[in-house]
Chains A and B, each alone.
Chain A
């Protein structure tokens, strides 16, 4: 929390100290009201005052009340301003930080966790700051001030108040000791329920095919019962808070009056009247003290949750991105679209064994190179190292003759057109998605159409309302899987990079579209180096070079026909997809 508070600017800190003063003023106003009440009590009980005097005292009280509210408004405004500004800064920093992360840091936290940290956790901290400032400042000031005002009156009464506060704290502690662990468990138990219902939903066809409805319902009921039992205890305990509080407060007043009887009887003459009026004000003060302690205890409940959130935010902000930016903007002169892997090994952070081991290969300008191999063979990892989603653990990758680590990241990615395995579209228009990252080029519209056409996306885009300006919903929900993939390919083509990287981008397409797209690519992107990761033999048969990956190593390199003869692994993959006749025909 301390570090996050540092995010506050001078303006906010100044506001904070001003608020503190204003809170003190507010407490003064509220306590003065009680003093005016005592005045009224004295006027009335001694019978010495006039109606006018009482009314004036009333007006004074009204003015004090209004002043108190005004103070509260000022503090409230300051608190919300500070909270909102802090949240703004935290969100901004978090977003910037995450943008700078490499995949290593992203995976360390997981995307889902980073999202919660940037949204819910920030809101938690904001709430604590904004609400906490109003309560946490006021309650202690009020408690101390009120205590100091009554401490001198009568130790009997003071002791009663202290006793009530102690009792209050004990009871709250007992209640929370029982309830809080159970409240903490609610989330896990709810997750269980969620999981079991989701299990039933995702397996609906299987559940019905096996007539296993009862089986699933029994499983669900077990989780449901556990949740209900847990919540029952928690809520039964929590139900005590309100009654206990209110009885404690009325009981306190009663105790003060009860003691008052004996104090008054023990006093002499005129003292009695003063004691009586003191008794009335004392109970009012006592109420404020008990209320303050109650407020503070609620802050203590909120505090741990917000602390956890603050710590989670801090974790992100203090994580240094592993990938350091280089300075080079250009490769060696006269070289374009050349890649060399030199003894590259790669181990995922925290993993024991390497995913890639001594990978060596080079790609010349304009070549098409394909990677194939079973899942886990490391083919996607190879191409992820080129745009530096990860950095190599050993060895080096040269792009246009320069180590990729020496490039400024912006310059590096400018050379590469990358299409991920899962198509990614941003909410916006088709055009915005195609020109993404390369905005403001000449002949934009014409080039967008061209990219769409090459990616076999032109026809379905033209069928949409608004054509190239058709809306794309969040996550591309209004396009089919194959369409999304073709649009994300168009995005890479529009960029006109030196190197195109397709990470298994063709699997979502049916055979026909796959074929069309590849022949269009060949025609349109002549001279561009192309790297393809693929599952289907058909997709890569015509590549200049096929690299067969197996368990993190290069098992074979060659053309389709050569590999059929030389590589067992390649033949095995081919055999599973093509029939024997077809293999013989090759």
Chain B
């Protein structure tokens, strides 16, 4: 359960976008998003109205162009020439039309952009806050990459689609309906011709696109395969070289590369076909209108202006269809993304504890485990009825081989996990009757996986204890022997901890110990120094920890047996269960697992 192994790089946003992953239920995904965006209903209605008005204007436009060209054509044949005042009136009308269209459609885009940002910002905030309200169990079993990917990639995808598609789609629907209505209103014969030909074209294009899907899937698979391959081999560069396997890997790589070359070519070709084919459908409509319209105009059934108007209608009719086709995949992946986001937001939260009235503000440090049973998996109990008693000020050591579940004890003490049955008492108070915040306040904690955040050294030592004065922080730094080092830094205590400032592992651990000193909690949980700390720093850390534990009940996760021999109680863990407990002497005399572990270390 190492965090580093657990973490997987989230897939790149663009790649995700290219892979069309379908939502489990389109309807539910869209509904959750709508429900979430409820407070923006007025904005959405405004956008809807603007889109309708804008599209109606776009549709009515050609009608006036038709009138304009009729007026001009009449003028061509009339001896007096074009009726300038009538024509100018039409021109001005059109000008106003276009100005309104511009205004409305920009207003629509503006509102949509604003609402989109509000919603996606809200989603990210909610995701972050949700993290802090969910049980640790979830994050111990799910990779961080997964959660991060929901907050960035998935929210991004929703953002892109809302920005790009929603406004366009509403407009497209109105345009589509409106253009059909206008075509039939203007001339039904030509309407049938234009629509018939366009639809025929689309059916053909659709058939081709459908057949091309498999190329995209194949390309996507092979792209994934080759990326994985590259990642695997590059990361193992040392080993590949040391085993002289370069040629073998090159050959294996070439095979995948060749497959990708073929599928990449086919997929790219197919996607390149979309545009010209759609264009061809447009041309078909254009030709149908020109030919049929021309013939009708010749026989005097319609004016030529009608033909010109129809050329514009055909465009208005075909554009939305192209928009639908293009938005479909983007809508699908956005729906899948929103499904993932809301799935996370709907996860079970930690139980509400606002009703709990018991409070424990300070503690002497008497801790009792009473017949505690626990399993990470409910069906698989690993701790079978554990009881122990720690008196105030005592040092309790937890030992066991790697992976024995030493952190389980911490998890239960801190109520990161709740025991299946049994109770844990602090100063005689059942911790499950206290709020989690209260329990956390009772314990100071220093973990081996040192966690520092992006901020100054001072902020890192003070952390959440806002009211601790600076002197206390300097005091704590002195206590762990960091003060001198910190004063040599360019900005002293205000030096930012980031990639540029490389603290050693040991120094990082000392900072976290200083943090625990500042917190000044009555009970302590300590994880011993890592093996990658050099000997001198290790002595420093040990001293700092010894100082910290003085007079406090402390639980120490031990990695070296030599440091815990003076512990008041040693808990020996194996496979998550406490199999032995007692003092060093008792356990050695017993000759059990502890004795074996103890002896194997030194021989």
Flag whether B141 is at the interface (Cβ < 8 A).
no
Q: Max chain B CB contacts within 10 Å: which of A61, A106, A197, A251?
A: A197
Question: Contacts A202-B7, A231-B159, A414-B244 given; 10 further ones with Cβ under 8 A?
Answer: A69-B279, A73-B273, A80-B264, A84-B264, A193-B152, A197-B148, A243-B101, A258-B87, A265-B75, A276-B76
* A201 neighbours in B (Cβ, 8 Å): 131, 139, 144, 147-148
Report yes or no: B443 in contact with A209, Cβ–Cβ below 8 A: yes
Report yes or no: A247 in contact with B98, Cβ–Cβ below 8 A: yes
Q: Max chain A CB contacts within 10 Å: which of B284, B288, B295, B402?
A: B295
A199 to B246, CA, bound (A): 38
* A326 neighbours in B (Cβ, 8 Å): none
Flag whether B132 is at the interface (Cβ < 8 A).
yes
Flag whether A44 is at the interface (Cβ < 8 A).
yes
A354-362, A416-424, A450-458 - interface stretch: A416-424
Flag whether B257 is at the interface (Cβ < 8 A).
yes
- Closest A-chain residue to B415, C-beta based? A208
25 A-B residue pairings within 8 Å (CB atoms): A41-B304, A47-B298, A61-B291, A65-B280, A68-B283, A73-B276, A79-B272, A84-B264, A85-B261, A87-B264, A103-B238, A114-B234, A119-B227, A209-B414, A209-B444, A213-B132, A217-B125, A224-B125, A243-B109, A244-B106, A264-B81, A437-B245, A477-B5, A572-B536, A576-B539
Question: Given A69-B279, A114-B234, A232-B114, are A96 and B250 neighbors across the interface (CB < 8 Å)?
Answer: yes
A166 to B538, CA, bound (A): 71
Flag whether B488 is at the interface (Cβ < 8 A).
no
B401 to chain A, nearest CB (A): 4
Q: Max chain A CB contacts within 10 Å: which of B114, B243, B304?
A: B243
CB contact between A261 and one of B84, B128, B226, B449 (< 8 Å): that residue: B84
Report yes or no: A387 in contact with B241, Cβ–Cβ below 8 A: yes
Report yes or no: A257 in contact with B531, Cβ–Cβ below 8 A: no
Flag whether B589 is at the interface (Cβ < 8 A).
no
Report yes or no: B603 in contact with A515, Cβ–Cβ below 8 A: yes
Question: Given A54-B291, A76-B273, A208-B436, are A538 and B602 neighbors across the interface (CB < 8 Å)?
Answer: yes
B357 to chain A, nearest CB (A): 18
Report yes or no: A260 in contact with B295, Cβ–Cβ below 8 A: no
CB contact between A251 and one of B98, B128, B242, B463 (< 8 Å): that residue: B98
A507 to B530, CA, bound (A): 11
* A275 neighbours in B (Cβ, 8 Å): 76
Report yes or no: A439 in contact with B248, Cβ–Cβ below 8 A: yes
CB contact between A103 and one of B7, B91, B237 (< 8 Å): that residue: B237
Flag whether B228 is at the interface (Cβ < 8 A).
yes
* A329 neighbours in B (Cβ, 8 Å): none
B65-73, B181-189, B477-485 - interface stretch: B65-73
Flag whether A512 is at the interface (Cβ < 8 A).
yes
Question: Given A118-B230, A211-B441, are A131 and B298 neighbors across the interface (CB < 8 Å)?
Answer: no
Report yes or no: A91 in contact with B257, Cβ–Cβ below 8 A: yes
A262 to chain B, nearest CB (A): 8
A410 to B241, CA, bound (A): 9
* A439 neighbours in B (Cβ, 8 Å): 248
Flag whether B41 is at the interface (Cβ < 8 A).
no
Question: Given A45-B304, A375-B532, are A54 and B294 neighbors across the interface (CB < 8 Å)?
Answer: yes
Report yes or no: B534 in contact with A376, Cβ–Cβ below 8 A: yes
Question: Given A61-B290, A217-B128, A413-B241, are A198 and B109 neighbors across the interface (CB < 8 Å)?
Answer: no
Q: Mark B250-285, 1 if CB is under 8 A from A, else 0.
A: 100110011011101111110011011101100110
Q: Mark A66-110, 1 if CB is under 8 A from B, else 0.
A: 101100110011011101110110011001101111010010000
Flag whether B12 is at the interface (Cβ < 8 A).
yes
CB contact between B72 and one of A98, A220, A242, A264 (< 8 Å): that residue: A264
A148-156, A363-371, A555-563, A577-585 - interface stretch: A577-585
Report yes or no: A190 in contact with B447, Cβ–Cβ below 8 A: no
B115-123, B376-384, B387-395, B543-551 - interface stretch: B115-123
* A579 neighbours in B (Cβ, 8 Å): 562, 565
A43 to B223, CA, bound (A): 55
- Closest A-chain residue to B119, C-beta based? A228
Q: Mark A511-528, 1 if CB is under 8 A from B, else 0.
A: 110010000000000000
Q: Mark B92-133, 1 if CB is under 8 A from A, else 0.
A: 001100110110011001101110111011001101110110
Flag whether A162 is at the interface (Cβ < 8 A).
no
A233-241, A296-304, A397-405 - interface stretch: A233-241
A100 to B246, CA, bound (A): 8
Report yes or no: B445 in contact with A240, Cβ–Cβ below 8 A: no
A61 to chain B, nearest CB (A): 5
* B414 neighbours in A (Cβ, 8 Å): 205, 208-209
A50 to B234, CA, bound (A): 72
Flag whether A309 is at the interface (Cβ < 8 A).
no
Report yes or no: B565 in contact with A68, Cβ–Cβ below 8 A: no
Q: Max chain B CB contacts within 10 Å: which of A40, A205, A236, A420?
A: A205
A193 to B562, CA, bound (A): 43
A205 to B599, CA, bound (A): 33
- Closest A-chain residue to B162, C-beta based? A235
- Closest B-chain residue to A52, C-beta based? B295
Flag whether B416 is at the interface (Cβ < 8 A).
yes
Report yes or no: B298 in contact with A235, Cβ–Cβ below 8 A: no
Report yes or no: B117 in contact with A205, Cβ–Cβ below 8 A: no
User: Which B residues from 24 to 69 make CB contacts under 8 A with A?
Assistant: 58, 61, 65, 68-69
Report yes or no: A72 in contact with B279, Cβ–Cβ below 8 A: yes
A200 to B63, CA, bound (A): 60
Flag whether A393 is at the interface (Cβ < 8 A).
no
A101 to B246, CA, bound (A): 11
Report yes or no: A511 in contact with B101, Cβ–Cβ below 8 A: no
Flag whether B235 is at the interface (Cβ < 8 A).
yes
Flag whether A188 is at the interface (Cβ < 8 A).
no
Chain B residues within 8 Å of chain A by Cβ, number: 161
Flag whether B346 is at the interface (Cβ < 8 A).
no
Report yes or no: A200 in contact with B128, Cβ–Cβ below 8 A: yes
Flag whether B3 is at the interface (Cβ < 8 A).
yes
User: Which B residues from 425 to 474 make CB contacts under 8 A with A?
Assistant: 436-437, 440-441, 443-445, 447, 449, 451, 453-454, 463-464
Report yes or no: A413 in contact with B280, Cβ–Cβ below 8 A: no
A88 to B535, CA, bound (A): 51
Question: Given A33-B283, A235-B117, A240-B106, are A120 and B298 neighbors across the interface (CB < 8 Å)?
Answer: no
Report yes or no: B453 in contact with A203, Cβ–Cβ below 8 A: yes
- Closest B-chain residue to A106, C-beta based? B237
Report yes or no: B237 in contact with A576, Cβ–Cβ below 8 A: no
Report yes or no: A81 in contact with B535, Cβ–Cβ below 8 A: no
Report yes or no: B73 in contact with A437, Cβ–Cβ below 8 A: no
User: Which A residues from 444 to 466 make CB contacts under 8 A with B?
Assistant: none
- Closest A-chain residue to B264, C-beta based? A84
Question: Given A205-B416, A247-B102, A261-B82, are A199 and B453 neighbors across the interface (CB < 8 Å)?
Answer: yes
Report yes or no: B152 in contact with A99, Cβ–Cβ below 8 A: no
Flag whether B361 is at the interface (Cβ < 8 A).
no
* B101 neighbours in A (Cβ, 8 Å): 243, 246-247, 250
A220 to B254, CA, bound (A): 44
Flag whether B297 is at the interface (Cβ < 8 A).
yes
Report yes or no: A511 in contact with B147, Cβ–Cβ below 8 A: no
User: Which A residues from 495 to 533 make CB contacts under 8 A with B?
Assistant: 495, 507, 510-512, 515
* B260 neighbours in A (Cβ, 8 Å): 87-88, 91
A7 to chain B, nearest CB (A): 14
A213 to B130, CA, bound (A): 10
Report yes or no: B295 in contact with A254, Cβ–Cβ below 8 A: no
* B198 neighbours in A (Cβ, 8 Å): none
Report yes or no: B244 in contact with A437, Cβ–Cβ below 8 A: yes
Flag whether B352 is at the interface (Cβ < 8 A).
no
CB contact between A265 and one of B12, B84, B538 (< 8 Å): that residue: B84
Flag whether B151 is at the interface (Cβ < 8 A).
yes
* A576 neighbours in B (Cβ, 8 Å): 535, 538-539, 560
Report yes or no: A206 in contact with B447, Cβ–Cβ below 8 A: yes
A211 to chain B, nearest CB (A): 5
Report yes or no: B451 in contact with A51, Cβ–Cβ below 8 A: no
Report yes or no: B535 in contact with A572, Cβ–Cβ below 8 A: yes
- Closest B-chain residue to A54, C-beta based? B294
Report yes or no: B265 in contact with A80, Cβ–Cβ below 8 A: yes
